[in-house]
Structure 1
């Protein structure tokens, strides 16, 4: 299906082989590189709204709904990370984007890394925000237990526990609005899509162990100091083995730091993307001399 022009923000919305997506044009007329945003389990593309204005200052931004979420189709009953990486490939094909900066949060970070490892020629850089990596046995048991309890309907109690992990208990007053918005996303996500995706997320923390040394693009591993499940040690471990990796930790932040502290997250993203763009432009200059080929 070809995209339709929306009536606000000059956003273009469309559907690529079952994937609902939005494209936000850059505010700078000569900007041509694309940044793709991949949300986490239980969310949808709207969770990136705090990043759109900042990123469109320099880039075209594509946000889409992961399989089983928002307006996108279901994954297989027992999906793989490759299935989610192929979803991103289809979106890029639909939009005729040759290469993109790929930014993923939580489960989206696993997808972003999988895509960068399997499609390096289409990846300018990768950002893994609040990513999981090589959980301890105790951490793995806890997340597998949560995955095993998922049924066919959202559980209010489970959502409360999740919000406590992500925002704190009690939720700070200045984060109440953000927490309620996230709660609404968790309440309205398709329960089957959520369960299938979460179960993949639960068993995929070792999916990139032993593989990140082959990551051929600039990589930022960004997490919050107080994110217990996607903790700083994980980001630092990934950055240590990725050839062009760096880790950054945002003080006092938890798992949903893109909505709780967008100013800091946006600053780190833009700083990294600009450096990756500069490196990419330098390496691409002979072949890109005729113009922009995103």
Structure 2
């Protein structure tokens, strides 16, 4: 599988789709891998050049000692684009990846063709910290079972959990494969996020997407982002929890493809 050296580490990536098509980057959530974008890749690579990758500390990329930060992740993504000779791209991400994407847009406006924020936040409210703090404790204890039990019910809409019990059961096995030490560095980077006051500097066309039933990063956080990014667009996906890419892939794909095509122009 392709890995490339960026900023003294190796990043895992997948690049697919027709050459010359607009490039869409999809950045992972904190416990996600590139496989979590399976429904987006299958459809979008028919029309777009799709770049998936694992941030440092995630799955098939290197897991160096921390601390990590959103700026480091943004610098890594910029380095990856440079190595792949991609001048600019449509920058999208979900949850942790959405936050990386916003910081990237702030630091690298010349590389940001458009910005798509899926289930993201721009600051850490006390409730969000309280909801996710058990994840950090589980990671620090190296306890994947506790991590699974503390998180899955927050990540998906209730109906989706009831309809996908087999997926939920196999998810516990995937949690056991996580690098818990690296996850603690990722969590600490997340808790340092505080960029709301900077968002007005983002000039790229921006779409903010929230799940109607997202229990941790729902529409109230998305509205904060939307209210601070000039001329941004805002969409709420009915019936979806936090992991929109798996729960409502068809609707998300339509939003992604339409927004990218609309903002690609002749370039």
Output the TM-score relative to the length of structure 2: 0.90
- Asked whether the 8 Å contact 1:43–1:185 carries over to 2, the reply is no
Alpha-carbon distance between aligned partners in 2 of 1:52 and 1:71, rounded to the nearest angstrom: 18
* Structure 1, gaps ≥5 residues long: 5-12, 285-294
For 1:180-227, what per-residue CA distance to the aligned partner results, in whole angstroms no more than 9, with x for missing partners?
4544432212111111102221332x2x11111000101111110111
- Asked whether the 8 Å contact 1:99–1:124 carries over to 2, the reply is yes
Alpha-carbon distance between aligned partners in 2 of 1:90 and 1:235, rounded to the nearest angstrom: 28
- Find 1:174's aligned residue among 141, 155, 163: 163
For 1:27-66, what per-residue CA distance to the aligned partner results, in whole angstroms no more than 9, with x for missing partners?
xx6x422111110111111111110122112211110011
1:219 paired to 2:206: yes
Matches for 1:9-20 after TM superposition, within 5 Å:
13-17=2-6, 18-20=10-12
1:107 paired to 2:96: yes
Aligned to 1:277, the other structure's residue is in SS state coil
Alpha-carbon distance between aligned partners in 1 of 2:264 and 2:57, rounded to the nearest angstrom: 32
Aligned to 1:10: none
Alpha-carbon distance between aligned partners in 2 of 1:63 and 1:98, rounded to the nearest angstrom: 16
- Find 2:17's aligned residue among 20, 25, 32: 25
Tell me the number of residue pairs that the alignment of Structure 1 and Structure 2 aligns. 264
Aligned to 1:290: none
Aligned CA distance change for structure 1 residues 233 and 173 (closer, same or farther; 3 Å): closer
- Asked whether the 8 Å contact 2:134–2:150 carries over to 1, the reply is no
The CA deviation at 1:127 is: 0.8
Aligned to 2:252: 265
1:151 paired to 2:135: no
Aligned to 1:86: 75
Output the TM-score relative to the length of structure 1: 0.83
Alpha-carbon distance between aligned partners in 2 of 1:188 and 1:45, rounded to the nearest angstrom: 15
Aligned to 2:27: 38
RMSD: 2.1
Aligned to 1:8: none
Q: Which has the larger radius of gyration?
A: 1
The CA deviation at 1:168 is: 4.6
Aligned to 2:197, the other structure's residue is in SS state coil
Aligned to 1:291: none
1:58 paired to 2:47: yes
- Find 2:215's aligned residue among 219, 228, 231: 228
- Asked whether the 8 Å contact 2:138–2:144 carries over to 1, the reply is no
Aligned CA distance change for structure 1 residues 36 and 144 (closer, same or farther; 3 Å): same
For 1:139-193, what per-residue CA distance to the aligned partner results, in whole angstroms no more than 9, with x for missing partners?
3344345424532523313202311111255864532344345444322121111
Alpha-carbon distance between aligned partners in 1 of 2:211 and 2:33, rounded to the nearest angstrom: 21
For 1:84-119, what per-residue CA distance to the aligned partner results, in whole angstroms no more than 9, with x for missing partners?
001101110111000011111110011111111110
Aligned to 1:190: 179
Aligned to 2:217, the other structure's residue is in SS state coil
